[in-house]
Structure 1
Amino acid sequence: MKTQSIVIGLIATVVILYFIWTKFKNQKHQTDTDTSKQSTELLPTQEKQNDKLVIVKNVSYTDLQTILTGFCNMYNKERYQARPRLTKITESEFAITFPFDIDFIIFCYFINYVHYPMDFDKTFYVTGWTTTKSGDNWITEKSANKKVMLFIPSDDTDHDNVYMTTIDSIGFKLGFAIGEEKQMLNEPKKKFSSPTIDILELTNLVHKDFK
């Protein structure tokens, strides 16, 4: 009788555990499905004209793909904030554009991230260009509505900022810490130079989009 009770108890335990496992599996499947559906609905499909351009040098295609994937995984969790498009110029030089546009503040984060990528023990040469707007984060009346160049100098030690030079040679340090977002410099950290690549020339070249 005692043995029979033990067997019945084991069978009941197995049935309960199977029921719990089945319920958990169904809930997880439903959650995965909903998340996929939400991401698809939020994915921007309408391209927006803009002149944001980033050039990365002395990097391999494989490494840059890893870097862009890491950035997108970090910034596109809740909503799509960046959809970079990667175009190969040479074996070690690449152009990155944003056909769906990107907020100026995220653009700054992007340049910093590509220069200081996570899980890499090295930095990369990164320069970005865009035209600012008066409503952009960190933009003042002295830098609004101007062509600007964004970069991180080789002697940077803060690791949480980007530097900006306007086309009329006004320099800024844009810090990511509160209170350090828009520091005007006595002189630019680097002289403004226009990109050697025209965004329009990239239109018909082979590229890869990230999300």
Structure 2
Amino acid sequence: MTERKSEEAEITCDCKLGRIAKKYDLLALDKALVEYWTDDGDEQRSTRELATYVNHRILETALTNANVPRKEGEVENTYRLLTSDDITSGTRIETKKHLQRDGVPVEDVESDFVSHQTVYNHLTKCLDASVETPSDEERLERSAEKLGALQNRTAVVTADTVDQLDRKGILEIGEFNVNVSVTVTCEDCFQEYTIRDLLDQQSCDCKRLGASER
């Protein structure tokens, strides 16, 4: 059996991800997804990261099929322009128009993008893959990364909005920076923490105050 036939044989399910893998001829995708998800080292990726990985492959294939020349990193940037929450609607529309002019079926490609839940279902139900339950430390670190990404996104959207208003003369401002800080206040002990400090401490002052009262 040739290597290609062996790789094609891996794509056997009929879930959305399985159908997409066949449609875009994404050979050995299942093997890559399982290896990345179950890796216990630096190569391990979450289902959200794997969904982005799959969607990059879909977009890359669509660009290749349309004979669109591209530079290094262009697939990732184009995907960001199509999907990221910190991209303005005007920029997204222009990106789609540009792709359509190049012969890329943008609407079809976008409908073929997969979610992290689709990846998870494919891994667990179609491929029988599983990972160990993350430790408390891993959960805390992942939560910190997620919240940090949200803060960064808020800062980007705010900066973009202020910049647009400044360029249109609606407001006036010199060089500026945007800082986003999230704090959490416990209504019992009345202590306020940055979210990073709270995650690091893993508790507010209630536990310490309760112990001192005893």
Q: TM-score, normalised by structure 1?
A: 0.22
Per chain length, whose mean CA-contact separation is higher, i.e. which structure has more relative contact order (CA < 8 Å, sep 6+)?
Answer: 1
Structure with more strand by fraction = 1
- Larger radius of gyration, structure 1 or 2? 1
